[in-house]
Amino acid sequence: MSTCLFCKIIEKEIPSDFVAENEHVIVIKDIQPKAPIHYLIIPKIHVPTINDILDTHEHTIAIQAMWGMLRNLAKNLPEPQAFNLIVNNGAASGQRVFHMHWHFISGKNIYSSGIKL
C-alpha cells in the first residue's frame, strides 16, 4: 500500500472533492484554496517531481493527459478564461506533496498579494 497522499486520494482511500477524472489524471479541489478556483491536476502514475519524468510512453501519455485536462478546465472558465498554472518542483521551491501536480488557480489575481514574476 502506498504512503503517498495523492496516491491514496487516487485510490479513494482518502476522500477528496473530485472535479474530473479519466484513465490517466484526476483533478481535485485543493483542501486549502488560495483563490475561488484552486484545483490540483494530478497524474495517476506516481512521479515525485518533474525531474523524475522519463521519456517513456507511460510518462508521455500522463503529461499529455494533464495538458488535455488543463485545456478542458480553461475552456470551462467564464470569459476571459484567465488562470494561473503553478508548479512547485522540489522542497526548496515550496513543494510539500511529492507526487507531481499542477495548481490550477482562477478567480483571483494572485499577484495582488505581493509576489511579482
Task: Determine whether 46 is an active site residue.
Answer: no
Cβ-based neighbours of 41, under 8 Å, separated by 6 or more? 25, 27, 66, 69, 70, 73, 101, 102, 104
Nearest CB to ligand 5GP, comparing residues 17 and 55: 17
DSSP readout, 43-80? ESS---SGGG--SSHHHHHHHHHHHHHHHHHHHTSPTT
Nearest CB to ligand 5GP, comparing residues 84 and 95: 95
Q: How far is the CB of 22 from ligand 5GP (least distance, A)?
A: 18
In the complex, which residues of this chain contact ligand 5GP (CB under 6 A)?
5, 16, 28-32, 40, 88, 94-97
CA dihedral angle for residue 19, residue 78, residue 37, residue 21, rounded to 10 degrees: 20
* Among residues 38, 99, 101, 103, the one that binds Zn ion under rule CB under 5 A: 99
Nearest CB to Zn ion, comparing residues 3 and 112: 3
Amino acid at 7: C
Q: How far is the CB of 79 from ligand 5GP (least distance, A)?
A: 27
Is residue 7 a contact point for Zn ion (CB under 5 A)?
Answer: yes
Active site members: 101
